[in-house]
Structure 1
Amino acid sequence: MQTLVICIDRDNDLGEKAKLETPIVGREANIQAAAALGIADPEDSDTNTIFGGIRILDELRAKGIDAEIVSFAGDKNVGVISDQKIAEQLETFLNTHDVQRAIFVSDGAEDETLVPIVQSRIKIDSVKRIVVMQSENLESTYYILKHAFSDPKISQTFFVPLGLAFLIYAIFLLAQYPEGAVVGIFAAVGLYMLYRGFGLDDLVALEKERLWDAFLEQKMVFISYTAALLTILVATAYGAMEVWELYSAEGVWYHGTLTLVSVFINASVWWYAGALLLANLGKIFDLRMEEKPIYKNISISLFIIATGLLFWGASTYILAAASLSEGITNNATLALQYFVYSVIVAILIALVGIKYSVSNQASENGNPERGRRKKKLA
């Protein structure tokens, strides 16, 4: 095959709307797929993308060029997951077909972000964007807004913060505490903006996909992750109750923000550490069942314990200095000693984890240091 015409459907409209599996190979199969998608959603631009690819295919064949058309689809969670699926489909296709070059066909700039991914696997001669000509009525403001808000990517960005704000305000009104609504709204919207700004939505979608696969494959990591998530919820609730008890007594002006944060950390740090250890334990169990190396996960467990010690020691000293600790840690001097000891023990635990990981990695790679010595002796 000399030339491959590649049509890209990054958000998997072919699968979600037309219920088709990709890749779709061949002229007739793509005509049927475009017709099925057009019937399912006449306004979907991917229909025109496939028809545009078919026209390019006909032009190439009319010139005597050996060409074929194939349509790849990603996932409704546009981003890492969808791009990985398209890359996997492309690699599988190229492994079974001898293709020299390709023509990339898309319906806009979003799909064209995949050009570097495709280009890293096959030479691209041309990139063709299919633009649909519309009438003036369709270009009206109402039509643009209607279709923009029906797009999940835009609607989630616009409606979720508004929905959170209205919901939090209603909850505070029911609790007869409207003064706290402003703080709650700013906190929730701020967290959501950080969540989207750092691109955590792609990471969460990817982990959700992996968790679902683990459930279908009956892996221990599904149970351990679920237990870890529930433990994190309990830890957050427990820490928040401890902070609220102190805040409602005297207020933030009396104790200070650092003290309230230290109360939350001191009350919940080992809950969070336990949750992370639970999640990692499930991974270790599955790796052992698959007879794969587990030294990296054991090192991660040691680092979790070391980090927990550091946060516990620091928060314990701050609370002791503020005369909020009970028992033997109420003495600030003794609490400072605990903090110093926790730092030393945390460093030792981290060094053990590093040593364990490095030694096992060296043995797994065939002990390269020993190989270097043999070369020197030779």
Structure 2
Amino acid sequence: MRILIICIDRDNDLGEKAGVVSPVIGRAANLDAAIKLACADPEDSDINTIFGGINVYDKLTAEKNDVEIVSIAGDKKVGMPADKRITEQFDRILEQLKPDRAILVSDGAEDESVMPIIQSRIKVDSVRRIIVKQHENLESTYYIIKEAFNDPKISRTFFMPIGLASVIYAISLYFNRPEVAIMSILGAIGVYMLFRATGLEDSFTDFKTSMMSSLQTGKITFVMYLAAIILSLIGTVQGGVELWNYYNQEIMAGYLILLMAYINTSIWWYVLSGMLISSGKIMDMRLANENIGKQWAHPFFILAGGILFWSGSTYILVISEAMNRYPLIGNGYQFIVSTVAVAVIIGTVGAWLSIRTPGGSILKN
């Protein structure tokens, strides 16, 4: 039964620093490779990995075991290029040496990340981690921190709030207003947490993915997306200006009134943005001869929702005396009832169209 001792150098220090081509097979060849790497960089931890593998080799050989040692190097870019190169070399080694079991020798968590590759091809009896005693867990800690920075989910969850707080604090110091730093930081992080907790981040990611897909495939939706972004920005700015105007008025402008002022001013920009995106999707599906189905209802539902938000915010602003009068109709009850009725009719028409034309048959006829 042949035992294969595998020394892993995932970032290819053997090749980059010592000029050694992997795989390195045999005790003598590995000893020579370790000496070359030690001469090139005495502080490299992969030196200890190879010597550790040789130590295991000597012990097993003394026990009359059939043992072979091999060093496999990946790529300096690490990640997928390194794993692919390690896989290719390991497959050739298995075909050449035909071992039955393996012992993995590494210098930390980064090299051990290739464990699934090895275990999928041969049974691993043991994992030997070689770490300099004066620096125990140093490389593992470094690897964990590096992976955390590279992982988009972790970086967005933990590092983005820290970076946001640092930027806000730096700006407040620049303008000699450190007293507003805590309030601004808490507000910004609070908005970010709400953004994550309510799932808006996933919606934003889906929107970005759809936009890039429409650009790459040459769809009309891409132009509609751009127009929707511009209109949404205009609505946001206009709503913010109106909110600020209400805040500076001599009326009792509570948080609800400020929110209603923002909605009342900006809602139609958002409605127009949503209708543009929905219309663009319908046009693309129509040109591709796809089943439009319930997509017909989306523009109608967006318009109906906009009417409801606009009428509701208008009613609250008028009864709180933040707005002078109702548009269109002077009576408040008539205004709210009529607008709700119009919204319901529009929504019903959209639902009827989506049911009557599951494949766009009305347009075809």
Q: By the TM > 0.5 criterion, same fold?
A: yes
The CA deviation at 1:299 is 0.4
Pick aligned residue for 1:53 from 117, 120, 134? 120
Q: State how 1:83-232 maps to structure 2 within 5 Å.
A: 133=129, 135=131, 137-140=135-138, 142-143=141-142, 146-147=145-146, 149-152=148-151, 153-174=153-174, 178-232=178-232
Q: State how 1:11-50 maps to structure 2 within 5 Å.
A: 28=88, 31=91, 43=110, 45-50=112-117
2:326 corresponds to 1:259: no
Distance 1:191 1:294 in 2: 36
The CA deviation at 1:343 is 0.7
Distance 1:132 1:263 in 2: 66
The CA deviation at 1:311 is 0.6
CA-based RMSD of the aligned residues comes to: 3.9
Pick aligned residue for 1:352 from 349, 353, 358? 349
The CA deviation at 1:334 is 2.4
Where does structure 2 lack aligned partners over 5 or more consecutive residues? 1-73, 93-108
Paired position in structure 2 for 1:87: none
Deviates further, 153-162 or 134-143: 134-143
Superposed CA deviations along residues 189-219 of structure 1, whole A, max 9, x for unmatched, are 1122233334544444344333222211111
Q: How many residues align?
A: 268
The CA deviation at 1:187 is 2.4
The CA deviation at 1:248 is 3.1
Paired position in structure 2 for 1:4: none
Distance 1:132 1:224 in 2: 58
Please state whether the residue corresponding to 1:325 is helix, strand or coil: coil
Paired position in structure 2 for 1:323: 321
Please state whether the residue corresponding to 2:357 is helix, strand or coil: helix
**Contact 2:291-2:358 within 8 A present in 1 as well:** no
Paired position in structure 1 for 2:294: 296
**Contact 2:318-2:325 within 8 A present in 1 as well:** no
Please state whether the residue corresponding to 2:117 is helix, strand or coil: helix
Deviates further, 286-295 or 263-272: 286-295
Distance 1:230 1:317 in 2: 28
Letter in 2 for 1:218: G
**Contact 2:168-2:181 within 8 A present in 1 as well:** yes
**Contact 1:269-1:311 within 8 A present in 2 as well:** yes
The CA deviation at 1:132 is 7.9
**Contact 2:292-2:358 within 8 A present in 1 as well:** no
Distance 2:127 2:360 in 1: 57
The CA deviation at 1:155 is 3.1
Distance 1:363 1:277 in 2: 18
2:243 corresponds to 1:243: yes
Distance 1:361 1:306 in 2: 21
The CA deviation at 1:221 is 1.2
**Contact 2:243-2:261 within 8 A present in 1 as well:** yes
Distance 1:313 1:131 in 2: 68
Paired position in structure 1 for 2:63: none
**Contact 2:291-2:360 within 8 A present in 1 as well:** no
Letter in 2 for 1:306: A
Letter in 1 for 2:161: P
Distance 1:342 1:174, change over 3 A: farther
Paired position in structure 1 for 2:274: 276
The CA deviation at 1:283 is 0.7
The CA deviation at 1:164 is 1.2
**Contact 1:228-1:276 within 8 A present in 2 as well:** yes
The CA deviation at 1:274 is 0.7
Superposed CA deviations along residues 277-324 of structure 1, whole A, max 9, x for unmatched, are 111121111111101133422201000000000011111111112223
Please state whether the residue corresponding to 2:327 is helix, strand or coil: helix
Identity %: 32
Distance 2:247 2:127 in 1: 59
Please state whether the residue corresponding to 1:361 is helix, strand or coil: coil
Distance 1:258 1:53, change over 3 A: same
Superposed CA deviations along residues 234-260 of structure 1, whole A, max 9, x for unmatched, are 211111111112213448xx2211111
**Contact 1:310-1:346 within 8 A present in 2 as well:** yes
Distance 2:347 2:309 in 1: 14
The CA deviation at 1:145 is 5.8
Distance 1:173 1:263 in 2: 32
Query: Normalised by the size of structure 2, how large is the TM-score?
Result: 0.61
**Contact 2:165-2:185 within 8 A present in 1 as well:** yes
Letter in 1 for 2:322: L
Paired position in structure 2 for 1:94: none
Paired position in structure 2 for 1:375: none
Query: Normalised by the size of structure 1, how large is the TM-score?
Result: 0.59
Please identify the structure whose Cα radius of gyration is greater: 2
**Contact 2:314-2:326 within 8 A present in 1 as well:** no
2:325 corresponds to 1:310: no
The CA deviation at 1:167 is 2.0
Where does structure 1 lack aligned partners over 5 or more consecutive residues? 1-12, 33-41, 60-129, 365-378
The CA deviation at 1:172 is 4.2
